Amino acid sequence: MKLIYSTASPYARKARVAAIECGANAGLELEAILPWEDPAGFRDVNPVGKVPALVRDDGPPLYQSNIICEYLDAQGKIRIYPDPGPARWTALRQVAAADGIIDASVAERMEGMFHDDNAASKIFIDRQEHSVHMSLDQLESEASGLDGPVTIGQVAVSCALAYRDFRFADIDWRTARPALAAWFATFAQRPSMIETAPQA
Ligand SMILES: N[C@@H](CCC(=O)N[C@@H](CS)C(=O)NCC(=O)O)C(=O)O
């Protein structure tokens, strides 16, 4: 089984952290690529051309981070997707907020990078920041739900917060969100987070 990732991708980091947390990382090969360079053959693995992608031993490749995380959970020794019930919906709601933060942050960064004439739209960027900050506020108000055994919700939230620190370090999210900041300070020390620290 091989996980194709990029060192800076928060989506791929979710899969890498999930693999470690659920114990599906033993024997998991890792291949770092730069998806924007469209490496030869990668679109045969993921026609959409994005990381992460997972080459399986028991079927065709999987792509899209949440699907890969769920597959890894099924392969692992420790379940990080709770069974259907309140704990599962809490975790998946956390994933939705975290993905919202990542989607908006990545879109904002792309907006700044892919205009030939540097004409990034302020309206678009402001809208992404608004989504990020509203989602962070929701996570702050529900921070007690992040306590307890590791779930995919915690994995996704920690990758989203770490991506903000990585790419948007000049925008303070902590001061107004002390409970979320305290939770993240502890989760960020987990070996799974340290081992997957992003590289530009
Ligand atoms: N919804 C996808 C998003 C993956 C994604 O956008 N990955 C970025 C890296 S952060 C990528 O590979 N971008 C290359 C491209 O858009 O062509 C997921 O959750 O896996």
pLDDT at position 47 is 98
35 lines ligand 1 (CB under 6 A): yes
Tell me the CATH number at 173. Answer: 1.20.1050.10
C-beta atoms surrounding 101 within 10 Å: 27
Residues 98 and 154 in one domain: yes
Average pLDDT, stretch 182-196? Answer: 98
Closest ligand 1 atom to Cα of 6: 9
**Which residue's CA is the closest to the ligand 1 atom numbered 13?**
50
| 29 plus 121 within the same structural domain | no
Residue 200: inside a domain:
no
Q: Which of these three, 41, 75, 109, is where a domain ends?
A: 75
Residue 188: per-residue pLDDT: 98
pLDDT of residue 130: 98
CA–CA dist 111, 150 (Å, integer): 34
Whether residues 169 and 115 share a domain: the answer is: yes
With vertex at residue 145, the alpha carbon angle to CA 143 and CA 146, rounded to the nearest 5 degrees, is 70
- Is 182 within the bounds of a domain? yes
**Residues 61, 53: contact at Cβ < 8 Å?**
yes
Give the model's pLDDT for residue 17.
Answer: 98
Q: What is the pTM of this model?
A: 0.97
Distance of alpha carbon 179 from the chain centroid: 20
Give the span between the Cα atoms of 134 and 141, in whole angstroms.
11
Regarding the beta carbon of 105 and ligand 1, being less than 6 Å apart is answered: no
Residue 166, phi then psi, degrees to nearest 5: -75, -45
CATH number at residue 14: 3.40.30.10
pLDDT reading at 113 higher than 90: no
Residue 10 tokens read as 């928060």
- Which of 33, 51, 159, 164 has the most ligand 1 atoms within 8 A of CB, as the residue to mutate? 51
Question: Rounded to the nearest whole angstrom, what is the distance from the C-alpha of residue 39 to the centroid of ligand 1?
Answer: 14
Ligand 1 site, residue 107, Cβ cutoff 6 A: no
Within this chain, do residues 168 and 143 fall inside the same structural domain, yes or no? yes
Domain that residue 166 falls in: 86-190
Residue where a domain terminates, one of 75, 96, 118 = 75
Same-domain check for residues 66 and 117 = no
Domain assignment present for residue 197? The answer is: no
* 3-class SS of residue 42: helix
What is the position in ligand 1's atom list of the atom closest to the CA of 12?
Answer: 20
pLDDT band at 106 (very low <50, low <70, confident <90, very high): very high
Residue 115: predicted pLDDT: 77
130-140 pLDDT, tens digit each: 999 999 999 99
**Percentage of residues in the chain with pLDDT exceeding 90?**
92
Smallest CA separation from ligand 1 atom 15, residue: 50
For the chain, state the CA radius of gyration: 17
Q: What would the mean pLDDT of 61-77 be, rounded to a whole number? A: 98
- The torsion defined by the Cα of 42, 43, 44 and 45, in degrees rounded to 10, comes to 60
Using most ligand atoms within 8 A of CB, pick from 38, 43, 50, 196 the residue to mutate for ligand 1.
Answer: 50
Sign of the Cα torsion 129, 130, 132, 136 reads positive
Tell me the CA end-to-end span of the chain in Å, nearest whole number: 25
Peptide bond connecting 178 to the previous residue in cis, omega within 30 degrees of 0: no
The pLDDT assigned to 119 comes to: 80
pLDDT class of 126 with cuts at 50, 70, 90: very high
Q: How confident is the model at residue 120 (pLDDT cuts 50, 70, 90)?
A: confident
Quick one: 17 and 61 in the same domain? yes
CA of 36 to the centre of ligand 1 (A): 10
Does one domain contain both 169 and 106? yes
Residue 192's φ and ψ, nearest 5 degrees, are -60, -35
Q: Domain check: are 106 and 70 in the same one?
A: no
Q: What is the pLDDT of residues 32-54, one digit of tens each?
A: 999 999 999 999 999 999 999 99
Counting the structural domains of the chain, the total is 2
Does the residue 91 lie in any domain? yes
Mean pLDDT of 143-156: 98
